[in-house]
Structure 1
Amino acid sequence: MTTPRSNWLSQAITADALKRFPQSIAGQAVFATGLVMMLAAGVGLPSWEILHQGLSKQLGIQIGTAAQLSGIFVLLLWIPLRQRPGLGTLSNIVIIGWVMNVELALLEFAGVPSAAEIATQPLLAGALAIAGTAVVGIGSGIYIGSGNGPGPRDGLMTGLHHRTGQAIWKMRTAIEVAVGVLGIVLGGTFGFGTIWFAFTIGPQVQFWLGRFDPSGRAKRQAAAADRR
């Protein structure tokens, strides 16, 4: 039996969800740190961050703020797709962008070399991009394992999958390519980090999700969403 959409808030804010909420926040903070590491490397970003970097350049705002604005816009697209956000979905929009802005400001204050400077040292830049991807994978495992709802962009992917009947991998590929190309046009950075992230992030998230969600809560929730 399908629960009315008007009850989504009562479903999202439960005692169990609140108990797991700190895990959501912690995972998102770790995730943001990984993205900052990739930004510092200067040799390519994941597709969505290419877009956020491009938007930040064009609008003259911090990249974390661009990510927050993007998250709000994507969340609005959930309405016609009939997706239901969780506590983690909402905090995703706020926490990741905020942590990125704070950490980037701290790096600048500490006098850490710019991404352009680090990118001139291929071994250092490559190692930083690889390490950043690994940290994003850990953060993803922590956050997704909390079972407090998908991120706005993941929800867009699954929502399109439900409404179009197309395979999830097709929807993800189409979105990632479109977003990445738009980001490049706007001035975002494509490079080694982009390719490394695309080919390795899936297995890394799967590995860490098994460590932070041994009961398989997130997998069961995803299966329940597929049945709606």
Structure 2
Amino acid sequence: MPHPWTAVRSLLPGDRPARRLVQLNLGLVLYGASTALLLRSGFGVDPWTVLHQGLHQLVGLSVGTVSILVSLLVLACWIPLRQRPGIGTVLDAVLVGVVIDATLACTPTPHVLWTRGALLLLSVLLNGIATGCYIGAGLGAGPRDGLMTGLAARGHSTRLVRTGIELAALGAGWLLGGPVGLGTLVYALAIGPLAQVFLPLLAMSERPGRSAGRGRRRSGVAPVS
């Protein structure tokens, strides 16, 4: 009977699979934790959660169910962009939600204004680092980040693409009645530039002798400008 690592290894790029898997999971955990901290700041949720809550009010489905359906719709947009899902795409759908719930369960709600403001800024910064970390692992981006990298790969600025996507989700969610606050605006305007910085810093390229082109395509990390 084959060793379990052999089955996992077959799903990963040839270069440094263990390190990639660790970086992927660290990035997803950090993403979930930073999202929960953004909620705890009380200044408003990120644009995609605004959209999910707006759709929840419109159709009556739970926010979690709406999130899954939106993810499937976004994944369908990958097809013309020739993006391919990976193990990171699957883990994104499972791990982030678990970490959000766990973080909310063990962190208190701050009441002092400056503490809330500091928490807002910290959560947005950590979210940007997390985005670069798990996409840079090269194991498949989450549905929304894959849409960003697919559009950026066509010669557009990662910063402008990500900011445009976040603002579009925000606008649609607001029109549907989703809650919008100062934190929502800060996140929408800051996440693009943060992704622009951390994606190239945390991207794991193939070592010499490996198929660099294959690793680059799987990573979903587009050129930044």
200-209 vs 27-36, which moves further: 200-209
Whether the aligned pair in 1 keeps the contact of 2:135 and 2:199 (CA below 8 Å) is yes
Whether the aligned pair in 2 keeps the contact of 1:34 and 1:136 (CA below 8 Å) is yes
Distance, in Å, in 2 between the alignment partners of 1:193 and 1:16 is 39
TM-score of the two chains, using structure 1 as the length reference: 0.69
- Aligned position for 2:113: 122
Identify if the C-alpha distance between structure 1 residues 169 and 128 changes in structure 2 by more than 3 Å, giving closer, same or farther. Answer: closer
Identify if the C-alpha distance between structure 1 residues 200 and 167 changes in structure 2 by more than 3 Å, giving closer, same or farther. Answer: closer
Q: After TM superposition, list the pairs within 5 Å mapping 1:1-228 onto structure 2.
A: 13-16=12-15, 18-19=17-18, 20-56=20-56, 59=60, 61=62, 63=63, 66-104=66-104, 106-107=105-106, 112-113=108-109, 121-160=112-151, 171-209=161-199, 212-213=202-203, 221=216
- 1:78 positional shift: 1.7
Amino acid corresponding to residue 50 of structure 1 in structure 2: V
Distance, in Å, in 2 between the alignment partners of 1:149 and 1:160 is 15
Distance, in Å, in 2 between the alignment partners of 1:224 and 1:143 is 11
Secondary structure of the 1:150 match is: coil
Structure 2, unpaired ranges of 5+:
1-8, 207-211
State the Cα deviation string for residues 29-88 of structure 1 (Å, max 9, x = none): 111110111111121233223223434555453x55543442233112223433211221
State the Cα deviation string for residues 64-118 of structure 1 (Å, max 9, x = none): 55434422331122234332112212221222123223333x24xx7x34xxxx5
Identify if the C-alpha distance between structure 1 residues 66 and 42 changes in structure 2 by more than 3 Å, giving closer, same or farther. Answer: farther
Identify if the C-alpha distance between structure 1 residues 169 and 37 changes in structure 2 by more than 3 Å, giving closer, same or farther. Answer: closer
Whether the aligned pair in 1 keeps the contact of 2:23 and 2:137 (CA below 8 Å) is yes
Structure 1 vs Structure 2: percent identity of aligned residues? Answer: 37
State the Cα deviation string for residues 129-175 of structure 1 (Å, max 9, x = none): 11111221232232122122222112223445667x76656644443
Distance, in Å, in 2 between the alignment partners of 1:136 and 1:162 is 22
TM-score of the two chains, using structure 2 as the length reference: 0.70
Whether the aligned pair in 2 keeps the contact of 1:46 and 1:198 (CA below 8 Å) is yes
Identify if the C-alpha distance between structure 1 residues 24 and 175 changes in structure 2 by more than 3 Å, giving closer, same or farther. Answer: same
Identify if the C-alpha distance between structure 1 residues 56 and 121 changes in structure 2 by more than 3 Å, giving closer, same or farther. Answer: farther
Distance, in Å, in 2 between the alignment partners of 1:41 and 1:153 is 23
Identify if the C-alpha distance between structure 1 residues 224 and 187 changes in structure 2 by more than 3 Å, giving closer, same or farther. Answer: closer
- Aligned position for 1:3: none
Identify if the C-alpha distance between structure 1 residues 161 and 211 changes in structure 2 by more than 3 Å, giving closer, same or farther. Answer: closer
